[in-house]
């Protein structure tokens, strides 16, 4: 792990700058000419975002394009997920996945084709925006689908394009894997995906071999006490005080129980308890997120949370049948582990056309990691740069800085990102088809 982190320092591959820029300009122009429809698809998808598990129209839009160009659609992969399969003679099977869902955010890009969409969510009118770039993922993915048809003489094998629902809530990939229809799909030898990076420039691809995105767990903990009068705390058992001790104490798990080279995060994001100042409540609810990489760390964090919670409650006088309740929510996802072998192939086929940037691991999660089945199938998630040079310069003078993913201002340079992403992914797919 130490070695992996050391390897993930940021470095830009050295090509002569002048030749690199000239080469890229030429490629952008050439690819743009082939990507006019993909840019229109992007605008349609951007203007019509759908929240996790509700991607019905989005899936229909993608399927209609794919069936017209010869892909066989396999439906019923959970929510609105589907696969589009193209058989092109004997050869390996490769999988390339896109996600489809958007976020409950009110768009503030100022674009003429901004999303003005709202939906009713929990009886509240909620705005919807593609603020995580899944619209870029889809437009690029569709364009790669077309490119692989156009270039079918250059490769042999089976291409499985997977469109996945509900990535933002960590449920989509699990549903795909649990579906009966998934078993009909040939098992791939390699699996690929893009995620846009809000900080990288167009033409830059971010790579992080090994653990690149964290395992995510969400947990609700109920700390019980014995309610009473706020003026007579000695007659009560105060769950607010136990919670305060617990929140402080669990911060020692990362600093004192885990090796410092195996990163983890334990965050209490919400505390709900009590009503007024002079009443000691019966219970307090805490909502946590836990981020880890290795299975050992994950197990240790879970064990220590329970040990600390149980012992603090007992020390406060709670009986054994009223110790804290630990609810691990059905949103857990494993880490994304990027295969070093695929990392080498990316270097081999893309380093002369793209700037390959080494990216450190992030504690953000992505359910793409589920498809590797515990790292049994080599997989790689590549960060796709989306900023134009002009945007990067302009943001330097902007007090708000570069808009991150999930920002209402997230405004990628889609006109250049989509053609460059298409070129990178189709080149890599063809390379892997011929290599295996
Ligand atoms: Zn997201
Ligand atoms: Zn995303």
Walk along the chain (436 residues) and give the pLDDT tens digit of each residue. Answer: 333 333 332 222 223 333 333 344 444 444 444 688 999 999 999 999 999 999 999 999 999 999 999 999 999 999 999 999 999 999 999 999 999 999 999 999 999 999 999 999 889 999 999 999 999 999 999 999 999 999 999 999 999 999 999 999 999 999 999 999 999 899 999 999 999 999 999 999 999 999 999 999 999 999 999 999 999 999 999 999 999 999 999 999 999 999 999 999 999 999 999 999 999 999 999 999 999 999 899 999 999 999 999 999 999 999 999 999 999 998 899 999 999 999 999 999 999 999 999 999 999 999 999 999 888 999 999 999 999 999 988 888 888 889 999 999 999 999 999 999 999 999 999 999 999 7
Assigned architecture for domain 215-328: 2-Layer Sandwich (3.30)
Q: Give the pLDDT score at 15.
A: 30
Using CA atoms, how far apart are residues 356 and 350, in angstroms rounded to an integer?
A: 8
132: CA distance to ligand 2 center in Å?
5
**Domain boundaries of the chain, sorted by first residue:** 2-212+335-435, 215-328
According to the model, what pLDDT value does residue 22 have? 38
Give 8 Cα–ligand 1 centroid separation in angstroms.
22
What spacing in Å lies between the alpha carbon of 193 and ligand 2's midpoint? 11
Long-range contacts formed by 307-314: CB under 8 A, 24+ apart: 308/246, 308/249, 308/250, 308/253, 309/221, 309/223, 309/246, 312/242, 312/245, 312/246, 312/249, 313/223, 313/224, 313/242
Q: What is the pLDDT of residue 278?
A: 98
Q: What is the pLDDT of residue 25?
A: 40
Q: How far is the CA of 101 from the centre of ligand 1 (A)?
A: 9
Ligand 2 mean position, distance from CA 275 (Å): 37
Residue 400: predicted pLDDT: 85
Ligand 2 mean position to 196 CA, how many Å? 8
Ligand that comes closest to the CA of residue 168: 1
Cα 169 to ligand 1 centroid, rounded to whole Å: 9
Q: Say how many Å lie between the CA of residue 129 and the centre of ligand 2.
A: 12
386 C-alpha to center of ligand 2: Å? Answer: 13
User: What pLDDT sits at residue 394?
Assistant: 87
> What is the 415 CA–ligand 2 centroid distance (Å)?
19
Domain 2-212+335-435 has CATH 3.40.630.10: yes
How many angstroms is it from 134 CA to the middle of ligand 1? 8
Q: Alpha carbon of 91 to those of 86, 110, 188: distances in Å?
A: 12, 47, 11
Distance from the alpha carbon of residue 186 to the mean position of ligand 2, in angstroms: 26
Angle at 136 between CA 134 and CA 142, to 5 degrees: 100
């Amino acid at each position: 792990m130490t070695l992996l982190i050391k390897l993930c320092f940021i470095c830009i591959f050295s090509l002569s700058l002048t030749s690199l820029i000239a080469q890229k300009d030429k490629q952008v122009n050439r690819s743009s000419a082939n990507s006019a429809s993909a840019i229109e698809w992007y605008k349609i998808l951007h203007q019509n975002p759908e929240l996790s598990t509700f991607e019905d129209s989005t899936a229909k839009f993608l399927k209609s394009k794919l069936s017209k160009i010869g892909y066989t659609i396999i439906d019923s992969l959970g929510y609105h997920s589907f696969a589009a399969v193209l058989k092109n003679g004997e050869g390996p099977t490769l999988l390339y996945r896109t996600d489809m869902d958007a976020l409950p955010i009110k768009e503030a890009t100022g674009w003429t084709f901004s999303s003005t969409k709202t939906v009713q969510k929990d009886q509240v009118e909620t705005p919807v925006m593609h603020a995580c770039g899944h619209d870029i993922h889809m437009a690029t993915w569709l364009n790669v689908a077309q490119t692989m048809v156009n270039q079918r003489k250059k490769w042999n094998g089976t291409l499985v394009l997977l469109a996945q629902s509900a990535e933002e809530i960590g449920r989509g990939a699990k549903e795909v894997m649990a579906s009966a229809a998934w078993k009909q799909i040939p098992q791939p030898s390699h699996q690929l995906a893009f995620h846009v990076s809000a900080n990288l420039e167009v033409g830059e691809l971010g790579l992080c071999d090994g653990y690149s995105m964290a395992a995510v767990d969400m947990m609700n903990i109920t700390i019980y006490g014995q309610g009473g009068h706020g003026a007579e705390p000695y007659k009560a058992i105060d769950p607010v005080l136990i919670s305060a001790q617990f929140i402080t104490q669990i911060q020692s798990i990362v600093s004192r129980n885990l090796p410092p080279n195996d990163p983890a995060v334990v965050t209490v994001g919400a505390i709900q308890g009590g009503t007024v100042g002079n009443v000691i409540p019966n219970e307090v609810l805490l909502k946590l997120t836990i981020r880890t990489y290795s299975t050992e760390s994950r197990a240790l964090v879970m064990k220590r949370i329970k040990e600390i919670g149980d012992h603090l409650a007992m020390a406060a006088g709670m009986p054994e049948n009223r110790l804290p309740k630990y609810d691990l929510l059905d949103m857990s996802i494993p880490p994304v582990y990027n295969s070093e072998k695929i990392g080498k192939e990316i270097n081999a086929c893309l380093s002369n056309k793209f700037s390959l940037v080494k990216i450190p691991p992030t504690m953000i999660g992505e359910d793409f990691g589920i498809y590797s089945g515990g790292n049994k199938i080599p997989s790689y998630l590549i960060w796709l740069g989306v900023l134009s040079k002009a945007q990067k310069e302009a943001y330097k003078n902007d007090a708000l800085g570069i808009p991150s993913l999930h920002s209402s201002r997230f405004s990628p340079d889609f006109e250049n990102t989509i053609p460059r992403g298409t070129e990178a992914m189709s080149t890599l797919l063809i390379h892997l088809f011929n290599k295996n």
